[in-house]
């Protein structure tokens, strides 16, 4: 009972301190060692050899440590009953910390070299001081344990946050890339619209000039057979080289006196109707000038066809790019699909495009964006089929949704990459300069998502890839 | 001239073919023109011409063709000794740099004409290429004086005389 009481008494810092204070005032030589702590004063600085060790009787001292990068870290605030300079005292090394008085008070100031002497001189002080030191050590050990645990938890959390950050950074990068791409597309759209406008002028001039030429020709050449030859030329379609070769053999037989190969070729391009006219009027004019009337008609025909093609291309390019990119409008999605196909006609040259565009209601949508989706899917299909094959595009209305399916006759999408195709930077093309950045389907996914719809891909029974896009019908724009 | 040197034009758009052939008309009395709309047809025409004892002096080839593109066709023709001697010109509206480099490296492309071309440009390229072909193949240079590069031909004739002596 006695012992346990004694231990609990010794564990109580406050009681020990009270006892020591009492002893100090009883022993005058100890009282001399008591020093006043003035707020703001530095007791010792980090790295200095220790001159004194302090037992705080009243007041507070703050221990700080200066890091290699010159930042100051506050380590602990020591109150009454604590030792300052304890570790330097036990190890004999320079102090690890600086000590500053943050609250005025009193401390017992002892020279470390004389400490043993104090203890021997004042046996009554020996036991409580030793116990107080032990208490200090225990306390610091406990706080060390707490710190270790805390460090571990912190580093764990830090790791998690670092991983979260990585994910967020990746997401940010993807979004950034997507935004840049969209911005590029928007700029391209503006450029295309401006370009289309500029091209329309010369194309119209070309077309008008051709028509005027026809009229002028009619005035100059009222001489009937030459004008008729011109008219036949004006309405004749060019022949493919195989047919032309066959007809050249016929012409060689029919007109053995025509030796010039280029004349044979020109005659071969004429329909029989024109050849009959030539047979009839050959005596009246030179063969070449007769042929030239037909040629003139044919050339104007070519100008008409070519300028009409330019005008059609420009028209679809203009409506495809939609200058007012960011606006939603009540529109028929099928028009966008048709425009897209026209704009991509160069890539679709040897692809059989089958359209099964059922009646669908108009809906609020950003047509420019949607056209980008059709473009991405169609271009991918073309690449998968090496530019040759069949693409089928269907539209249907179902439960207030518009469903667009685009399927191709290519090799399909292999099952292992199928779940990844809508992820940013996923690409099967090694030549990224070819068309995109591997963002096509990711952007399509984003666009359809913004429209409140879904985009899915699977392979058909025939083996080709099929994309199904469903967009809700809306009238709120 | 029983043995003839042909010009072959490969182009799938008929209006464009028409225009190309028209611009080459003045060469025709010396170099008969053959045409083909596809790579397959081009090879048939080449076989036909070669079978009849003639040669192909120049191939003008479009870039985008049905089935096989122009660059691939030219590369294939380069590996055949009968057509590796032919001058090869790519006429294109859209070849990317990669394709052009491929054509230069693998098909020994002699020239590159981008659409739209001008008559002068086309004439100049065809004249230069055919002149080189005629000199390289040691044809009767004198008979081509009026249509090809006369200066280059006389220079070649002078050199030939000197080596003969």
Handedness of CA B19, B20, B23, B27 (dihedral sign): negative
pLDDT of residue B139: 80
**What's residue A427's pLDDT?**
65
Indicate whether A21 pLDDT > 90.
no
Q: Is B37 on the interface with A (CB under 8 A)?
A: yes
Q: Which of A76-90, A124-138, B131-145 has the highest mean pLDDT?
A: B131-145
Set of chain A residues whose Cβ sits within 8 Å of the Cβ of B35: 241, 244-245
Is pTM beyond 0.90? Reply is: no
Write the pLDDT tens digit of every residue in A344-359.
Answer: 887 888 899 999 998 9
Interface of B with A in 65-104 (CB under 8 A): 66-67, 94, 96, 98
Distance in angstroms (rounded) separating the CA atoms of residues A347 and B50: 34
Asked if residue B160 is part of any domain, the answer here is no
Residue A5: per-residue pLDDT: 47
| Cross-chain residue pair B66–A349, CB shorter than 8 Å | yes
Residues of A in contact with B41 (CB under 8 A): 241-242
**Which pLDDT belongs to residue A3?**
43
Q: If pLDDT is split at 50, 70 and 90, which confidence band does A1 have?
A: very low
How far, rounded to the nearest angstrom, does the alpha carbon of residue A407 sit from its chain's CA centroid?
27
Asked if A239's CB is within 8 angstroms of B35's CB, the reply is no
User: Is B11 inside a domain boundary?
Assistant: yes
As a whole number of angstroms, the distance between CA A302 and CA A449 comes to: 46
* Closest CA in chain B for residue A385: B67
Going from the N-terminus, what domains does chain A have, and what CATH number goes with each? 2-121 (2.60.120.10), 197-317 (no CATH), 326-472 (3.30.565.10)
Asked if the structure places residue B156 within a domain, the reply is no
User: A249, A262, A292, A433: best mutation site toward chain B, by most B Cβ within 10 Å?
Assistant: A262
Confidence of residue A181 (pLDDT cuts 50, 70, 90): confident
Q: Does the structure show a pLDDT above 50 at A435?
A: no
DSSP string over A340-396: HHHHTTTTTTTEEEEEEE-----EEE-HHHHHHHHHHHHHHHHHHTTT-EEEEEEEE
pLDDT for A199 equals 87
* pLDDT recorded at residue A433: 36
Residue to test with chain A: of B4, B22, B101, most A Cβ within 10 A: B22
Stronger pLDDT, A12 or A159, i.e. the higher one: A159
Pick from B125, B3, B116, B34: which is nearest to A262 by CA? Answer: B34
d(CA B117, CA B97): 18
CB contact under 8 A, B41 and A242: yes
Higher model confidence: residue B98 or residue A134? A134
Neighbours of A47 (CB within 10 A): 12
- Measure A431 CA to nearest chain B CA, in Å: 10
Q: B12 vs chain A: nearest CA distance in angstroms?
A: 8
The per-residue b/e assignment along A206-232, b for 16 or more CB within 10 angstroms, e otherwise, is bbeebeebbeebeeebeeebbbbbbbb
Asked if pLDDT for residue A223 goes beyond 70, the answer is: no
Residue A222's pLDDT band (cuts 50, 70, 90): low
Please state the rounded mean pLDDT for residues A243-259. 92
Q: Is B21's CB within 8 Å of A265's CB?
A: yes
Would you state the pLDDT for residue B96?
67
CB A298 within 8 A of CB A265: no
Task: Give the model's pLDDT for residue A438.
Answer: 60
Most confident range (mean pLDDT) of A127-136, A300-309, A381-390, B128-137 is: B128-137
Contact A68, A54 (CB under 8 A): no
Residue B84 pLDDT? 94
Asked if B32 reaches chain A (Cβ–Cβ under 8 Å), the answer is yes
Query: In the prediction, which pLDDT does A323 show?
Result: 54
Per-residue pLDDT of chain B in tens (165 residues, 90 and over written 9)? 478 999 999 998 888 999 999 999 999 999 999 999 999 999 999 999 999 999 999 999 998 887 778 888 999 999 999 999 999 999 987 766 777 777 888 888 899 888 889 999 999 999 999 999 999 998 888 899 999 999 999 999 888 888 876
CA nearest neighbour of A232 among A291, A304, A286: A291
pLDDT at residue B30, rounded to an integer: 94
CB contact under 8 A, B28 and A238: no
CATH number, domain containing residue B95: 3.40.50.2300
A303: closest chain B residue by CA: B15
Percentage, residues of chain A above pLDDT 70 = 92
Residue span of the structural domain in which B78 resides: 5-119
User: What pLDDT shows up at residue A434?
Assistant: 40
Per mean pLDDT, which range of A33-37, A371-375, A436-440, A464-468 is the poorest? A436-440
Is the Cβ pair B14, A350 closer than 8 Å? no
Domains of chain B: total? 1
Q: Say how many C-beta atoms besides its own lie within 10 A of residue A242's C-beta.
A: 15
Q: In chain B, what residues touch A267 (CB-CB under 8 Å)?
A: none
By C-alpha distance, the chain B residue nearest A260 is: B29
Which residues in chain A have their CB less than 8 angstroms from residue B36's CB?
Answer: 241
Separation CA A83–CA A112 (nearest Å): 12
- Tell me if B15 and A260 make a contact (CB, 8 A cut-off): no
- Calculate the alpha carbon distances from A256 to A265, A283, A303 in Å: 13, 16, 33
Residue B28 lies inside a defined structural domain of this protein: yes
Place of tokens 């044919």: A298
Domain contains B35: yes
Q: Which residues of chain A have a CB within 8 Å of the CB of B45?
A: 241
Contact list in B for residue A265 (CB cut-off 8 A) is 21, 33
- Which residue of B20, B27, B35, B45 is the best one to mutate when testing the A interface, meaning the one whose CB has the most A CBs within 10 A? B35
Contact A302 B19 (CB under 8 A): yes
* CA separation for the pair B110, B23 (Å, rounded): 19
Q: Which B residues 112-151 touch A at CB under 8 Å?
A: none
Nearest to B36 by CA among B10, B60, B56: B10
Measured between CB atoms, which of A237, A238, A241 is closest to B36? A241
Q: What's the pLDDT at A11?
A: 62
What is the nearest CA distance from A349 to chain B, expressed in angstroms? Answer: 8
Question: Does B37 contact A240 at a Cβ distance shorter than 8 Å?
Answer: yes
Residue A7 has pLDDT above 60, yes or no: no
> Quick check: B64 contacting A, CB < 8 Å?
yes
Of A325, A312, A320, which is closest to residue A378 (Cα–Cα)?
A: A320
B21–chain A Cβ distance below 8 A for any pair: yes
Q: Residues 6 or more apart from A305 whose CB is under 8 A from it?
A: B15
Chain A contact residues (CB < 8 Å to B): 237-242, 244-245, 260-262, 265, 298, 302, 305-306, 346, 349-350, 388, 431, 433
Contacts of A388 in chain B (CB under 8 A): 67
Q: What is the pLDDT of residues A401-425, one digit of tens each?
A: 999 999 999 998 888 888 888 877 6
| Residue A326: predicted pLDDT | 63
Average pLDDT estimate for A210-227 = 81
Question: Rounded to a whole number, what is the distance in Å from the CA of B159 to chain A's nearest CA?
Answer: 34
Other Cβ atoms less than 10 A from the Cβ of A449: the count is 12
Q: The tokens of A345 are what?
A: 């006609």
Residue B132 falls inside a structural domain: no
Min mean pLDDT across A72-81, A342-351, A428-437 is at: A428-437
- State how far the Cα of A7 lies from the Cα of A288, in Å rounded to an integer: 132
In a domain, B152, yes or no: no
């Amino acid at each position: 009972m006695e012992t346990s009481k004694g231990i609990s008494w010794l564990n109580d810092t406050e009681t020990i301190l009270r006892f020591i204070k009492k002893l100090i005032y009883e022993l005058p030589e100890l009282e001399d060692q008591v020093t006043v702590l003035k707020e703001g004063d530095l007791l010792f600085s980090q790295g200095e050899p220790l001159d004194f060790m302090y037992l705080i009787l009243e007041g507070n001292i703050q221990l700080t440590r200066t890091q290699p990068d010159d930042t100051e870290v506050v380590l602990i605030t020591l109150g009454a009953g604590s030792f300052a300079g304890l570790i330097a005292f036990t190890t004999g090394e320079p102090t690890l910390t600086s000590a500053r008085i943050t609250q005025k008070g009193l401390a017992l100031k002892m020279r470390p070299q004389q400490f043993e002497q104090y203890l021997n001189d004042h046996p009554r002080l020996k036991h409580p001081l030793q116990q107080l030191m032990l208490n200090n050590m225990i306390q610091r050990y406990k706080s060390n344990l707490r710190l270790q645990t805390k460090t571990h938890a912190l580093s764990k959390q830090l790791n998690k946050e670092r991983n979260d950050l990585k994910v967020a950074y990746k997401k940010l990068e993807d979004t950034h890339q997507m935004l840049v791409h969209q911005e590029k597309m928007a700029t391209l759209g503006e450029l295309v619209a401006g370009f289309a406008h500029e091209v329309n002028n010369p194309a119209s001039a070309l077309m008008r000039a051709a028509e005027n030429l026809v009229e002028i020709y009619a005035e100059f050449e009222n001489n009937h057979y030459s004008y008729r030859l011109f008219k036949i030329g004006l309405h004749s379609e060019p022949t493919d080289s195989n047919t032309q070769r066959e007809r050249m053999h016929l012409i060689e037989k029919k007109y053995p006196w025509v030796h010039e190969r280029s004349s044979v070729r020109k005659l071969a391009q004429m329909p029989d109707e024109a050849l009959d006219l030539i047979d009839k009027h050959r005596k009246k004019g030179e063969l070449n000038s007769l042929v030239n009337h037909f040629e003139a008609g044919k050339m104007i025909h070519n100008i008409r066809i070519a300028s009409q093609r330019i005008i059609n291309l420009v028209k679809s390019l203009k409506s495809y790019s939609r200058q007012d990119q960011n606006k939603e409008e009540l529109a028929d999605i099928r028009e966008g699909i048709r425009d897209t196909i026209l704009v991509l006609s160069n890539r679709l040259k040897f692809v059989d495009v089958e359209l099964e565009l059922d009646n669908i209601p108009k809906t609020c949508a950003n047509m420019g964006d949607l056209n980008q989706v059709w473009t991405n899917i169609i271009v991918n299909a073309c690449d998968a089929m090496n530019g040759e094959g069949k693409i089928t595009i269907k539209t249907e209305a179902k439960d207030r949704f518009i469903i667009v399916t685009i399927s191709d006759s290519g090799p399909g999408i292999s099952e292992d990459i199928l779940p990844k195709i809508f992820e940013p930077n996923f690409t099967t093309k090694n030549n990224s300069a070819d068309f995109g950045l591997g963002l096509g389907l990711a952007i399509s996914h984003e666009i359809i998502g913004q429209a409140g719809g879904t985009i899915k891909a699977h392979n058909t029974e025939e083996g080709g890839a099929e994309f199904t896009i469903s967009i809700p019908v809306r009238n709120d724009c | 001239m029983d043995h003839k040197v042909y010009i072959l034009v490969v182009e799938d758009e008929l209006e464009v073919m028409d225009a190309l052939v028209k611009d080459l008309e003045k060469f025709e009395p010396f170099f008969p023109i053959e045409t083909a709309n596809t790579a397959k047809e081009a090879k048939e025409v080449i076989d036909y011409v070669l079978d009849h004892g003639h040669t192909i002096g120049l191939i003008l080839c479009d870039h985008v063709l049905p089935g096989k593109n122009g660059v691939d066709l030219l590369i294939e023709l380069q590996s055949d000794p009968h057509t590796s001697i032919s001058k090869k010109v790519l006429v294109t509206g859209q070849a990317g740099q990669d394709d052009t480099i491929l054509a230069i490296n693998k098909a020994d492309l002699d020239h590159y004409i981008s659409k739209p071309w001008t008559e002068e440009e086309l004439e100049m390229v065809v004249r230069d290429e055919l002149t080189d072909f005629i000199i390289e193949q040691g044809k009767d240079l004198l008979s081509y004086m009026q249509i090809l590069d006369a200066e280059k031909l006389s220079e070649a004739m002078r050199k030939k005389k000197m080596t003969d002596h």
